[in-house]
Structure 1
Amino acid sequence: MRHPVRPARLPRAARAWLLAGALCLGAPWVQAAAPGPGVAWVSAAADADIERAFAQAKAEKKPLLLYWGATWCPPCNQLKATLFNRADFIDRAKSFVAVHIDGDRPGAQQLGARFKVRGYPTMILMAADGSEITRLPGEVDAPQVLSVLQLGLAGGRPVKAVLADARAGKPVSGPEWRMLAFYGWDTDEAQLVTAAERPALLAQLSRACPPAERQAATRLLLKALAESDDGKGIKPDAALRDRVRQLLADAAASRAQMDVVVNFAPDITKALAPEPGADRQALVTAFDAALQRLEVDASLSRADRLGALISRVALARIDLPPKTVQPKLPEALVQRVRAHVARDDQQITDGHERQAVITSGAYALGEAGLWAESEALLKANLAKSHSPYYLMSQLGSNARKQGQNDEALRWYAQAWEKSEGPATRLQWGASYFGALVDLAPQDAARIEQVARALFTEAAKDRAAFHERSARSLQRVGSKLEAWNQGPQQAAVLQRLHDGPQGLAAVCGKLEAADPQRVTCEGIAKGLLKKPSAPA
């Protein structure tokens, strides 16, 4: 499922010792285990590792499956709990070279730049020559992922070639249409098309899909609708609304499109009915009925069933301001959330599944206005989680949404302290820093201290200015620029820029030809900008 919460956007992160200046840099990071049993995963963190994997693929005349993930990531844990441990996946893995890139391996973010992978998880099936056959959809249920994987293994052409033929009106086989429909568009990262162009492309593909591939055409249509906000992609009309309602009323058809129905119900509803009224309410009712079926569908994972319930809550909130803290929802729905989450918490025994489901359960409780229960659930699961810092970030987010600023900062700081791995520590540190600037802008000493600590950590990571890590540091730089509204703040930024441990010195240690240097210097240059006018 597409997870609704993550540390950087809780919506995809202080303790008393910090206030006193004792800044802990976290526990030593231990390399994560292989994603699943029974598969000869090749662990990669550098170009040399990748070259060896491709050499093996060529020698064995096999394609290569690259999995990019992180220990803490709930959707990654969902894959470990439902896909990578399956006997049929393990058996199918004999047909490819399986490569695991843990985004927190030292230097791994450079590989993220090489393969254009950002979101965790991303799975790419590649030919031995390095061309991409397809990006697998991580949000669908395990049998569908395996089906798409099998299509790619059965001599599939590179997805770019297939898409070019489809757009040009040239012959495309049925399996290739299904590959396009189930392509991981959410993790494309502009490999096939820019995000701005995607809605129109998906709509075009849906119209061009032959009648024999009706399920693929429907999926492409739904994906186009999910991205058709602000008038992009597909313009709604009565016939289209009727078509979607008919699909939702059909149990088999809606089950076949489960992931889109679960993850994009509010988006599709707003695309088809941009304004509140009878049309929107009819769609909400139709979606809710389909989601109720999916929530109790025993063939789905716990995470997907809970995702269906979360979408029901989102639909019930669809006409409320997004930041509503205490929504007035149907009492039956609120009680359903309470009972569903309590049952999951009681029944789950697998650690990976717990990381995937309980974090979503806490989010569901908060969205239903059950904040005390969300907090209690997260606190009770801190000791059960292999990545408790993720839950700490959620506790910070919960407190912030309720206006409990000091409590929020304590949790964000603790999450950063406990986080592990170079990319994760920069990400969690940037989340804490952003909250600190927003919630305590007067605390110049702490702002300077945390920023300096982050730059010091960046100096120790040879890939700190690549991909996710670079974006974390850029967020820190942007926050500092916005905070710089007077002489006191300007003096702080000058100190962060200058000196033997300043950001300028960090940039100067990077090779002139290293693309990271440009990124680093861009952040450093921003520190010297003139103070902005107070908001």
Structure 2
Amino acid sequence: MAAGIVWRDGGRDGALAEVLARSAGDGRPVLLYWGAAWCPPCNRLKSEVFGHEAVIAQLAKVSAVQLDGDSAGAQALAEQYRLRSYPTLVLFAPDGGEISRLPCELDGELFAATLALALRVGAAGGNAARSLQAALAGDTLNSEQWTLLSHYSWDTDEASLLGQRGLAPTLRALHAAAPAGAARLRLGLHAQLAERAADPVELLALCADPAQARANMDILCNSGASLLKWLVAADQRAAVATALHAQAVSWAEDLWLGRPDRLAALRLQGRLERLGAPAAKRSVGIEQQMQVLLDEAGPADHPHERHTLLNTAVSALNDAGLAPQAEALLRAELDASHAPFYFMLSLASAARRRGDHGAVLDWYERAWQGARGPATRLQWGATLLASLVELAPQDRARIERAAEGMLEDIGAAPDAFRQRNRAQLRKLEQLPAGWNGAGPHSDRLLQRIVVGLAA
């Protein structure tokens, strides 16, 4: 984590409850960060957001708590506080109620502004839940309340704010009720993503305003290609692709942005060019531009930044049809990575595309053997076992070894059947009937899973 921020370890027994209880006395809000060491977006947060001076200044006003998904009992806590996706950021008021869930993809400057706004709303006794209720009831909201809703992390809500409401109709209702301006534009983007139906008029209007496009760069870089695919008419697609592409080019060349965001914009360029945007004039190719950004980071000096850069670069190379180059890059970087087991999953995917099932299973096994932390080991072990059942059902001995190891991992995790762990083990329960016939370990594992999930 960045220097200058005092992080409390929420994984220590009772620490999170202790911090929340203390906040009621000292009046300080609490920011909870939920993540994992191997998660690329988490690594981007650590390097790009938590290291930003403006963010450090805002976090001085709160009690900052980090909760690693592999901490002892972390998955049980995650269930209690409705945390699932890595990363999730929750801002709590001193009374313990949620003020808002904050988007993790913003750059440092925009995140600092969003956090500052959420703190102001919270200090005035407001929160996202009250703003949502008022908006849906037709009441008048001020600009900060609308901005809070437009910058809510809908992807990590886990029914905390929505409850029984549907995401798409809720976002569309908010978009319809919001006054013209930045918040309405952003809510419109959220609604389009939830509906999987893009609006060419809104997208073209957004791209025609560079400042507004820049303010929504997080959504457009992550989902711009998807929005383009959801446009029906070919002429609409070409116009929107060209407009989005112009913005992506400007972001990739913006030296005020961090390397991960510039690389994400570079990836968007390539995806848009394959979807109809005119190819950019480049003195060097995308592959070379990516390598420059990787070289600038350096493997030892910025391990968190390099982790997320590498992940984006591999995706971009695969998108560009340069799968051999992506695989070569991964192999070259494994030894320097602080979480090499994460990238072994990508190498397994590369082997699957080649039809090399033996290499697929070898990479999954290596990843599981190298995985650290109880939740991570359960997730990687479930991936290996499911792949063995799919690709090598006749290899009973190997299935048995994996099942034996999974039993050990379940025994080592006191919250093996909670939250993310539960979802991973449920995948094994749903495997084709008969997979556990390999021997006593697989029989015991399935029985343990069935009993654990039923509890």
Q: Does TM-score exceed 0.5, indicating one fold? A: yes
1:305-384 correspondence runs (5 A): 305-318=262-275, 336-349=285-298, 350-384=302-336
Structure 1 position 216 matched with structure 2 position 171: no
CA shift, 1:155, in A, is: 4.0
CA shift, 1:369, in A, is: 1.6
One-letter amino acid of the structure 2 residue matched with residue 274 of structure 1: V
Contact 1:441/1:483 (CA < 8 Å) preserved in 2? Answer: no
Structure 1 position 492 matched with structure 2 position 442: no
Structure 1 position 285 matched with structure 2 position 234: no
CA shift, 1:266, in A, is: 2.0
CA shift, 1:433, in A, is: 2.0
1:169-180 correspondence runs (5 A): 169-180=138-149
- After superposition, what is the alpha-carbon deviation per residue over 1:26-57, rounded to whole angstroms, capped at 9, x for unaligned? xxxxxxxxx33222211012662122101221
1:95-494 correspondence runs (5 A): 95-156=61-122, 157-193=126-162, 197-211=166-180, 214-229=181-196, 240-271=199-230, 273-274=231-232, 277-318=234-275, 336-349=285-298, 350-479=302-431, 482=432, 484=434, 489=435, 491-492=437-438
Contact 1:68/1:100 (CA < 8 Å) preserved in 2? Answer: yes
CA shift, 1:293, in A, is: 1.6
- After superposition, what is the alpha-carbon deviation per residue over 1:385-437, rounded to whole angstroms, capped at 9, x for unaligned? 11111111111111112222212221111111111000011111122222222
- After superposition, what is the alpha-carbon deviation per residue over 1:55-97, rounded to whole angstroms, capped at 9, x for unaligned? 2212221111000011111111111111212333223222111
One-letter amino acid of the structure 1 residue matched with residue 67 of structure 2: I
Contact 2:330/2:343 (CA < 8 Å) preserved in 1? Answer: yes
TM-score, normalising length: structure 2: 0.92
One-letter amino acid of the structure 2 residue matched with residue 287 of structure 1: L
State how far apart, in whole Å, the 2-side matches of 1:403 and 1:306 are: 30
State how far apart, in whole Å, the 1-side matches of 2:315 and 2:282 are: 15
The verdict on how the C-alpha distance between 1:162 and 1:442 changes in structure 2, with shifts beyond 3 A counting, is same
State how far apart, in whole Å, the 2-side matches of 1:507 and 1:303 are: 42
TM-score, normalising length: structure 1: 0.79
Contact 1:459/1:506 (CA < 8 Å) preserved in 2? Answer: no
Question: Match for 2:34 among 44, 51, 68?
Answer: 68
- After superposition, what is the alpha-carbon deviation per residue over 1:438-471, rounded to whole angstroms, capped at 9, x for unaligned? 2222223212321232122112210111111111
The verdict on how the C-alpha distance between 1:291 and 1:88 changes in structure 2, with shifts beyond 3 A counting, is closer
The verdict on how the C-alpha distance between 1:91 and 1:286 changes in structure 2, with shifts beyond 3 A counting, is closer
**1:462 counterpart SS class:** coil
CA shift, 1:187, in A, is: 0.7
Contact 1:57/1:96 (CA < 8 Å) preserved in 2? Answer: no
State how far apart, in whole Å, the 2-side matches of 1:370 and 1:190 are: 39
The verdict on how the C-alpha distance between 1:313 and 1:442 changes in structure 2, with shifts beyond 3 A counting, is farther
State how far apart, in whole Å, the 2-side matches of 1:139 and 1:256 are: 11
State how far apart, in whole Å, the 2-side matches of 1:161 and 1:47 are: 32
RMSD: 2.4
Contact 2:69/2:375 (CA < 8 Å) preserved in 1? Answer: yes
Structure of higher RCO (CA pairs closer than 8 Å, 6+ residues apart): 1
Unaligned runs of 5+ in 1: 1-34, 320-328, 509-516, 522-535
One-letter amino acid of the structure 1 residue matched with residue 55 of structure 2: F
The verdict on how the C-alpha distance between 1:205 and 1:180 changes in structure 2, with shifts beyond 3 A counting, is same
The verdict on how the C-alpha distance between 1:299 and 1:372 changes in structure 2, with shifts beyond 3 A counting, is same
State the number of aligned residues. 448
CA shift, 1:313, in A, is: 3.0
One-letter amino acid of the structure 1 residue matched with residue 304 of structure 2: H
The verdict on how the C-alpha distance between 1:94 and 1:218 changes in structure 2, with shifts beyond 3 A counting, is same
**1:170 counterpart SS class:** coil
1:58-97 correspondence runs (5 A): 58-97=24-63
State how far apart, in whole Å, the 1-side matches of 2:282 and 2:403 are: 43
Contact 2:121/2:144 (CA < 8 Å) preserved in 1? Answer: no
The verdict on how the C-alpha distance between 1:301 and 1:242 changes in structure 2, with shifts beyond 3 A counting, is same
Contact 2:121/2:145 (CA < 8 Å) preserved in 1? Answer: no
CA shift, 1:357, in A, is: 0.5
State how far apart, in whole Å, the 1-side matches of 2:309 and 2:345 are: 16
**1:154 counterpart SS class:** helix
One-letter amino acid of the structure 2 residue matched with residue 313 of structure 1: G
State how far apart, in whole Å, the 1-side matches of 2:23 and 2:261 are: 34
The verdict on how the C-alpha distance between 1:162 and 1:337 changes in structure 2, with shifts beyond 3 A counting, is same
Unaligned runs of 5+ in 2: none
Contact 1:63/1:126 (CA < 8 Å) preserved in 2? Answer: yes
Contact 1:302/1:357 (CA < 8 Å) preserved in 2? Answer: yes
The verdict on how the C-alpha distance between 1:301 and 1:246 changes in structure 2, with shifts beyond 3 A counting, is same
User: Equivalent pairs: percent with the same residue?
Assistant: 34
State how far apart, in whole Å, the 2-side matches of 1:412 and 1:483 are: 22
One-letter amino acid of the structure 2 residue matched with residue 161 of structure 1: R
Contact 1:437/1:483 (CA < 8 Å) preserved in 2? Answer: no
Contact 1:66/1:100 (CA < 8 Å) preserved in 2? Answer: yes
CA shift, 1:316, in A, is: 4.0
